[in-house]
Amino acid sequence: MSTNASHHNACILCSRNCGLLIETEGGQIKKIQGDPATPSSKGYLCQKAARLAHYQSHPDRLQQPLKRRPDGSFEAVSWDQALDEIAAKLKAIRTQHGGRAFAAYGGGGQGNHLGGAYMRQLLKAMGSRFIYTALAQEKTGDFWVNGRMFGKQTCHTTEDIEHADFVLVLGANPYQAHGIPNARDTLKQLHNNPERTLVVIDPRRTDTAKLADIHLALRPGTDAYLMAAMLAIIVTEDLHNKAFIAEHCNGFDAVEAVLRQVPIAAYVDIAGLPLDTVQQVARGFARAGSACVRADLGIQQTINSTLNSYLEKLLFLITGQFGKAGGNNLHASLLPLFTDSDERKPGIVRTARHNMFPIAGLYPPNLLADEINHDGEDRIRALWIDSGNPVNSIADTAALETAFAKLELLVVVDVAMTESARMADYILPAASQFEKAEYTGFNLEFPENYFHLRAPLFEPLAQSLPEAEIYTRLLEKLGAMPKATGLLRAVGRRSSATGNFKPFLITLAAHLALRPKWLPYAASLLYRSLQQPLGKLAPAAVLLPLALGYAHEHADAVRSAGHADGAALFRAILQNPQGIVLSRHQRTAMWGLIKTPDRKIRLQIDPLLDALRTLAATPPGVTDASFPLLLMAGERRIYNANQILRAPSWRKQDPDGALRIHPDDAALYGLVHGARARCSTRHGSIEVTVDCDANARTGFASLPHGYGMRAGDSEPLGPQLNRLTGREHCDPFTRTPYHKHVAVRVELI
């Protein structure tokens, strides 16, 4: 493509997907700036985006399909050979063992959800429901609570931080991890405005906590106690919003009865905080003109994970800080990133070994090793990994390696030679996110929501292909779907030329009505039918029915954003490489997003009220003297980005991903700054570099995630921290790992 030109695109390193202007030269990324034309980020970006060239070009990019030889080495094979052999093996496994023998992991990361739409068709072709994703080791507790409260697990809450008078950041570090609009600017604005209050609840003095008016440095893992105490203070001081509760909620009486029994002073003591400050925060939140909660892994990947998500929502619900500017809100979604799978309803498929149900349609990675590694006839025998590196990112690396070795077929689709790919039977090279059309479904805003389809900047590297092409070819080889008919292609061409997609959709609907068994493969049919007219954007053809559905459901909001109907919305998506405003909702429209039959929020969730009633009288913490220190296994830092940026050259600081430990603890354990040490748990041990850091909390060290990748044939660089974590150390209900609460020992080497 053109040289020395600036192209609209987006950052792929976190869920914000900030708009970028990327200057290219000779097929390389030359310069990256924030894109002022992107309506969501308006020119904002953080320091990580400037280093994206290290994602696009590095020696471990995959260039051709690879097949494992019996001696463990890989040989390059053609696409046809790889896909023919894979299709034959998949068919044999499906015939012999049925759909339950197949599972997938991944289907999208921080920047790429387009391939996932195509990967899901493969699950359908295999007759399997088993999709394991990273979301099901962080957010499924939150989704489950949403299902109970709002009627569907697809109801999802967001926070209007920019307009809030009072912001409670709970177990999140947006200064480094982002996750909120233009995080650093937004936090600084809060900090600089004396009329607004920022409260941060975090055991460590993070960069976000440094900007706070109040930092509640609670004892790790005690959030449920703290939130219970705050809710109890609100109720006993009559600060709950009775008018809001009467109008919008059910079940408050049952919640109130439990809250009135909470021993406030004792719980605040367990959290290790001063009572008067906690009272001040609870009162401030309840009385604020507008207030919202921003929560993330600090409460989700620790003790009481699901209960924490419940209490967090009760905070903004019983105070009426919901459904208004500056509060928490539900939002509309263009893409179905997850579904509703209420485990009480019929048709829910449970896993063979653990009898685990899906939440939001997703199965927990913490169980994956066990579901492969058992002797039952219905164990997982074939695993498909796309856009994930579970060997490094799922708890208990050793268990996963044992399980993977037992698989009859492991296929990995990735852009790079990952630790998971090294174990695969076949590795399929995907074009990078700058070599194909891409988007994400992280459009979680209200009242204005955005969408950004990115056009490719470069041709696919060597033989790599976009996922849309990989899966469509495989489905064709599996005989699951035919090649698109000439009629569909012809009508598709005409519709694209006129921009009127009605005739095309009518023809497609007629085809599918006659051959309903093609319905699960609508994404690939759309792709093939519109491939020629849409060119490089053809993989985005799946957006056509989604845009129509969205415009139908949110007609006024889509029109307010300037799109007359669904076809116009689809055209706008295709024609605006900087991103678009998808919908502009009336604030009152939010109540229509609640999916309970009476549109009321159900506050009473009995199992969680039981859990609240029976919270232990002693704080969580260290129980085994041989592992005396708590480790936060997975801190977001200035230079980590999951496993997306593999080349070590991308990091300007912290090349070793050091163990941050308070100087007093270092002295206690005989550690010195810069020294190498051994960090051990019951599950394993790794070597780390010691960083004495006064911002750490005594008794609570931290290691970053997003390290431990190999470069070429090197040893893992930085901590492979899931060699330390155990898969049973998790929320008993959702199986979300307690990564923020791992008991370790650290010794000087």
Ligand X SMILES: Nc1nc2c(c(=O)[nH]1)N[C@H]1C(S)=C(S)[C@@H](COP(=O)(O)OP(=O)(O)OC[C@H]3O[C@@H](n4cnc5c(=O)[nH]c(N)nc54)[C@H](O)[C@@H]3O)O[C@H]1N2
List interacting residues with ligand X (CB under 6 A): 14, 106, 109-110, 112, 115, 134, 137-138, 170-173, 176-179, 201-204, 206, 220-221, 223, 296-299, 302, 386-390, 393, 413-416, 418, 430, 432-433, 632-637, 640-644, 705-706, 721-722, 725, 739-740
Q: How far is the CB of 441 from ligand SF4 (least distance, A)?
A: 14
Q: Residue 240 binds what, of ligand X, ligand SF4, none (CB under 5 to 8 Å, by partner type)? A: none
Q: Residue 566 binds what, of ligand SF4, ligand X, none (CB under 5 to 8 Å, by partner type)? A: none
Q: Select from 7, 8, 9, 13 the one that contacts ligand SF4 (CB under 6 A).
A: 13
Q: Residue 45 binds what, of ligand SF4, ligand X, none (CB under 5 to 8 Å, by partner type)? A: ligand SF4
Closest CA to 333 of 554, 495, 112: 554
Alpha-carbon gap, residue 50 to 52, rounded angstroms:
6
Q: How far is the CB of 410 from ligand SF4 (least distance, A)?
A: 30
Q: Residue 179 binds what, of ligand SF4, ligand X, none (CB under 5 to 8 Å, by partner type)? A: ligand X
Q: How far is the CB of 18 from ligand SF4 (least distance, A)?
A: 3
Residue appearing with tokens 């690879």: 66
Residue range at the interface with ligand SF4 (CB under 6 A); choices 46-54, 69-77, 202-210, 387-395:
46-54
For ligand SF4, the closer CB: 13 or 457 = 13
Q: Select from 7, 8, 9, 17 the one that contacts ligand SF4 (CB under 6 A).
A: 17
User: Contact between 645 and ligand SF4 (CB under 6 A)?
Assistant: no
Q: Select from 21, 22, 29, 45 the one that contacts ligand SF4 (CB under 6 A).
A: 45
Show the beta-strand stretches assigned E in 441-520: 448-451
Would you give the end-to-end CA distance of the chain in angstroms?
Answer: 52
Alpha-carbon gap, residue 225 to 216, rounded angstroms:
13
Please report, as residue ranges, which positions from 161 to 190 form the binding site for ligand SF4 (by CB under 6 A). Answer: 178
User: Contact between 11 and ligand SF4 (CB under 6 A)?
Assistant: yes
User: Contact between 18 and ligand SF4 (CB under 6 A)?
Assistant: yes
Q: Residue 180 binds what, of ligand X, ligand SF4, none (CB under 5 to 8 Å, by partner type)? A: none
Alpha-carbon gap, residue 451 to 445, rounded angstroms:
10
Q: How far is the CB of 454 from ligand SF4 (least distance, A)?
A: 12
User: Contact between 643 and ligand SF4 (CB under 6 A)?
Assistant: no
Q: Residue 126 binds what, of ligand X, ligand SF4, none (CB under 5 to 8 Å, by partner type)? A: none
Q: Residue 16 binds what, of ligand SF4, ligand X, none (CB under 5 to 8 Å, by partner type)? A: ligand SF4
For ligand X, the closer CB: 241 or 392 = 392
Select the residue whose beta carbon is closest to ligand X and give its number: 634
Closest CA to 200 of 310, 281, 265: 281
For ligand SF4, the closer CB: 41 or 373 = 41
For ligand SF4, the closer CB: 14 or 431 = 14
Instruction: Report the 3 state secondary structure along 655-677.
Output: CCCCEEECHHHHHHCCCCCCCEE
Q: How far is the CB of 497 from ligand X (least distance, A)?
A: 30
**DSSP string for 269-323:** HHTT--HHHHHHHHHHHHHSSSEEEEE-HHHHTSTTHHHHHHHHHHHHHHTT-BS
Q: Hey, what amino acid is at 357?
A: F
Tell me, by CB under 6 A, how many residues bind ligand SF4.
11
Q: Are 168 and 202 in contact (CB under 8 A)?
A: no
In angstroms and rounded to an integer, the radius of gyration of the C-alpha atoms of the chain is 25
Q: Which residues pair with 533 in a beta bridge?
A: none
User: Contact between 16 and ligand SF4 (CB under 6 A)?
Assistant: yes
Q: Residue 443 binds what, of ligand SF4, ligand X, none (CB under 5 to 8 Å, by partner type)? A: none
User: Contact between 530 and ligand SF4 (CB under 6 A)?
Assistant: no
For ligand SF4, the closer CB: 50 or 77 = 50
Q: How many CB atoms lie within 10 A of CB 377?
A: 10
Q: How far is the CB of 511 from ligand X (least distance, A)?
A: 29
**DSSP string for 684-744:** -EEEEEEEE-TTSBTTEEEEESS--B--TTPPPBS--GGGT--TTSB-TTT--B-TT-EEE
User: What contacts 79, CB < 8 A, 6 or more positions away?
Assistant: 65, 463, 465, 473
Q: Are 366 and 730 in contact (CB under 8 A)?
A: yes
230 — phi, psi (to 5°)? -65, -45
Q: Find the angle CA(224)-CA(175)-CA(434) to the nearest 5 degrees.
A: 115
Q: How far is the CB of 37 from ligand SF4 (least distance, A)?
A: 15
User: Contact between 248 and ligand SF4 (CB under 6 A)?
Assistant: no
User: Contact between 640 and ligand SF4 (CB under 6 A)?
Assistant: no
Alpha-carbon gap, residue 600 to 449, rounded angstroms:
24
Q: How far is the CB of 88 from ligand X (least distance, A)?
A: 22
User: Contact between 46 and ligand SF4 (CB under 6 A)?
Assistant: yes
Alpha-carbon gap, residue 462 to 554, rounded angstroms:
42
User: What contacts 638, CB < 8 A, 6 or more positions away?
Assistant: 47, 48, 176, 653, 654
Q: Which spans in 134-273 are helix H?
A: 140-150, 174-177, 183-192, 223-236, 242-248, 252-259, 264-270
Q: How far is the CB of 301 from ligand X (least distance, A)?
A: 6
Q: How far is the CB of 177 from ligand SF4 (least distance, A)?
A: 9
Q: What residue ranges bind ligand SF4 (CB under 6 A)?
A: 11, 13-14, 16-18, 45-46, 48-49, 178
